[in-house]
Structure 1
Amino acid sequence: MERGLVLRKRRAEGIWAILVNGSDRIVSLDRLLRNYERDAADVDEAIDGFIDELLATRLPLPEWEEARAGIRYCAEKSELVVGHPDVLADPFTPKLSRLLVYTPEDEHTLHWLTREALARWGVGESELHAAARENMAALQERTPVEVKKVARVPLAMLRTHSAFKASLLLGPSFRAAMEAALGWPVLIVIPCRDSFHASRASDTEMPSLLWAELVREYLGSGYSLTNEVLLVSDEGIRALGEFSLPRPGRESDD
């Protein structure tokens, strides 16, 4: 036991159930290792920060009047949501789910929301979605879109340090932002929480241009999301395929 944490059961490769102050949390210990290796942080500091984040998720949620401004949509690996039927989550690709979450202004922690939270706040799910859409639209509004050409292919990136960078494709203003920068529909790759690349849907070579960078981000981030290549159009979000990952034990070619 360490500061109220108990490692309970391995669920999948790198994913564990941890008892946090009496409640089970499903976490990826690979995230701790990857962030430590990427940032070359002091090991004790990295572990303390990891534990602080877990413990913060068990703090009581604020009252609805305060919490409303922090309700957002979050893209998360579906494998992390398995076993939590109470979490307000909807799959939108074979590997990703859209979660309703609460985050304080500093975005230091993300609280997965459940029906228990709805009951406590006395609000309906429709009101929760309305707040999430409003807040995602506000975040999109203050997030610049930068377009640069790679091998003559225009690529769009989002200039924000928000933990919801990759999740902005779930917001109501995403189409307008992409249409103004590139056109519509678009191809999207979001290898990790803080990475986003978009191209016109007609530029099907986009993933190959970024292959080494995408693999590095997916394998090196403590918050990896998916290696899927996503088509975002009027019909919604659809996975067209995946960018290749090196086989276990082999290094990627840069």
Structure 2
Amino acid sequence: MGKAADEGSAMAHMPKELNKFAEQVAAMLRRLQPEYAVKLIGTSELLVDGRRLDLDNLYRMVSHDEMRGQEIVEHYLEQLFSDDSIDQSDMSFDLVRSRIMPRIQPESIFEHLSRELVAHVPFVNNTVIVFVTDLPNMTVSITTEQMIRWGITAEELEEIARENLDCYTPQFDMQFVESKEGGQAAIIGEQDGYDAARVLLSGLYNSLVDRLGPDFLVAIPARDMFVALSAGPSPFLQRLHRRVVQDYNRLPYPITDELFLVTRDGVAGAVLEDFGVQKLEGIGPEAFDEGYDEDRDAA
């Protein structure tokens, strides 16, 4: 009886590692919905019949009640697909307009997604702005098919998404830190899936110019990371560049290890050498030792 109880307990638990959790969810979804094409495309992201499905919310739900992990996942998937929430193709534009949000993705997403099927606009630093419908329990990518049916262009979609981003959290916490070298940093950590996208905020420049100077830099190594930096001194930027490269290599939803230059005229790609920074290239997570980790938060 004890062995049976242990086996039942093991079945109730979901893996704690995010990537293994996603793999098990994908397997459960294939079993529950065999007619759907399910593919794991990121650390915690599935491609379901061509639509991106973010599993972060589900992972958080399970982490709060680990003993019922499998039950929670099965209920979530059953509710999701019984309501046909994944199929947004017939939703009217008026219904979803206020829920359209931007996300910044690396150009490399098109290695496993068709560029022609994903609604997007080009951005800087080899990235693109894609668009999602933000629903209570999930986000679903917007396709070019929807965009065409709604009768709007990608540029109009971008304008709407930026406006919604401005309104999404009109007040959010920003932590300011002064480095040992004299540089300044501003960190946003809402952890709502849109931290990196906040480089697109219309009021970003005016909110930071007094603290960081007339031209400043922004790092968004991953979806849930946003760090704005003063444009010097160079030792400060070199150290923070090293951290950005590390975070880009280790965090889920990586975007870019490049820096963005924010001026009164807008956002552009930054040339590191112009700020006295030597670009770190051709290295992976193994290049960073634990000694650096001890220093990584001393911005």
Q: Could you say whether these structures have the same fold, taking a TM-score greater than 0.5 normalized by the shorter chain as the test?
A: yes
**Conserved? CA contact 2:125–2:269, under 8 Å:** no
From 214, 217, 220, give the equivalent of 1:190: 220
**1:161 to partner: Cα distance:** 2.5
Moved more, 155-164 or 82-91: 82-91
**1:166 to partner: Cα distance:** 0.7
Are 2:133 and 1:113 aligned? no
Q: Corresponding residue for 2:255?
A: 225
Q: Corresponding residue for 2:50?
A: 24
Cα RMSD of the aligned pairs, angstroms, is: 4.0
CA distance in 2, matches of 1:102, 1:19: 15
Q: Corresponding residue for 1:76?
A: 105
SS at match of 1:178: helix
CA distance in 2, matches of 1:158, 1:66: 30
Q: Corresponding residue for 1:93?
A: 124
Are 2:158 and 1:158 aligned? no
CA distance in 2, matches of 1:153, 1:142: 25
Q: Corresponding residue for 1:142?
A: 171
Q: Deviations over 1:179-199 (max 9, x none)?
A: 244233211111111111111
Q: Corresponding residue for 1:58?
A: 86
TM-score (norm 2): 0.62
Structure 2 unpaired stretches of 5+: 1-29, 273-278, 294-299
SS at match of 1:168: helix
% identical aligned pairs: 20
Are 2:269 and 1:238 aligned? yes
SS at match of 2:271: strand
| CA shift in 2, pair 1:231/1:103, >3 Å | same
TM-score (norm 1): 0.72
| CA shift in 2, pair 1:205/1:117, >3 Å | farther
| CA shift in 2, pair 1:124/1:196, >3 Å | closer
SS at match of 1:218: helix
SS at match of 1:132: helix
CA distance in 1, matches of 2:192, 2:53: 21
**Conserved? CA contact 1:187–1:201, under 8 Å:** yes
CA distance in 1, matches of 2:230, 2:193: 24
CA distance in 1, matches of 2:101, 2:223: 14
| CA shift in 2, pair 1:210/1:102, >3 Å | same
**Conserved? CA contact 1:199–1:206, under 8 Å:** no
Give the residue type in structure 2 aligned to 1:147: F
**Conserved? CA contact 1:227–1:244, under 8 Å:** no
**1:215 to partner: Cα distance:** 4.4
| CA shift in 2, pair 1:207/1:7, >3 Å | farther
**Conserved? CA contact 1:229–1:239, under 8 Å:** yes
How many residues are paired up?
238
Greater Rg, structure 1 or structure 2? 2
SS at match of 1:188: strand
The structure with the greater share of residues assigned to helix is 2
SS at match of 2:269: strand
The structure with the greater share of residues assigned to strand is 1
